Structures are given as structure tokens and as C-alpha cells.
Amino acid sequence: MEIQKVSIEDYSAILTLFKEVKAELNKQRNDQWKWLYPNRSTHKTDIKNGTMYGIKENNSYVAAITLDDLQSEKYKTLNWKDNEGKACCIHRLAVHPKQQGRGLGKKLLHYAEHLAHNQGYTSVRIDVYQTNAAAVALYEKNGYEKVGEVRYPLRKHSYISMEKQFT
């Protein structure tokens, strides 16, 4: 089970993964990801920019993550600990509902951290929907610390902003 950079040839497989994840979130009454975000354009941009990585099994993606240095304007209002270094961000970590509990999210998270560190970043930032308890727990267990909260349009709840600094 290798992690690989997602190629444009895998675009439809990525859309299928995110469709399944969105459906599961919807079943749980979690409005984190709806029709507006993430969307086809978001995924295509991640792939074209070479910033999306995934785990593929039997020609289907079972998990994906995006790592880049694009930060929300809302991040400027937060008290980040790493103000002197170079921060990157994790976006759209997704694990297929039928594959959850296998450690795939943790594997992708560690891969992204290793990649970021090797690229000279000094910290990783992320925001996670406050009702997504499993994701919040994953990040906390892996050394991410809460620095504040941000709100995005059309969402009932805020997003917890978290950071992990490299030593």
C-alpha cells in the first residue's frame, strides 16, 4: 500500500472517493463537505499542481490528502506559534468510509509531515470542522495543537485551526 502523487489520469477515481466521503458525512448530518466544497475544480487544481497524494488499492483510491502552502486569509487572525519559519497546510484529508479504522489517515498524515519537513517547512497547519470528532482526535493524537477557530460561509459550525511544529 504505497502513497503516490495523484495524476490527472486518476481524476475520476478521486471524484469517486470524495463522492463516497461526502455521502457518509451527509448520512452523519455533518455539513463539512457539501456540493460547494470540495468540488471538481478543487480536485483538478490539486492534481494539476502536483499537491495531491493518495493510497490506491485495486485501481481505486481509498484515501487522499493535499499538501501545499496555500493558507486561508482567515489564518491571519490566528496566533500561530511558528511565525518565523515556513508553514505549509494540509487540506482535504479523506479516507473512504469502508476503509476507515485501518490507519490510512494516520499514514497519509505522517507522509505529508515527512514531505513537508523534507521540503524545508517548519510547521504544518490545518483546520478541521469542529463536529468531525474523529479527525480532531487524529490530529491531536499526532501532536497538533489548537491555535484558534475560523468560520467559513455556509457552514453551521466553526473550524478548529491546528498546528504542528517540527523540531
- Nearest Cα residue to 47 out of 111, 86, 91: 91
User: For residue 61, what are the domain limits?
Assistant: 3-165
Per-residue pLDDT tens digits of the chain, which is 167 residues long = 799 999 999 999 999 999 999 999 889 888 888 777 899 999 999 999 999 999 999 889 999 999 999 999 999 999 999 999 999 999 999 999 999 999 999 999 999 999 999 999 999 999 999 999 989 999 999 999 999 999 988 888 999 999 999 97
CATH number at residue 10: 3.40.630.30
- Name every residue whose Cβ is closer than 8 Å to that of residue 25 and which is 6 or more positions away in sequence: 31, 32, 33
Query: Residue 116 and residue 111: Cα distance in Å, rounded?
Result: 9
∠ CA 152-42-14, rounded to 5°: 120
Number of domains present in the structure of the chain: 1
Whole-angstrom distance, CA of residue 71 vs CA of residue 87: 9
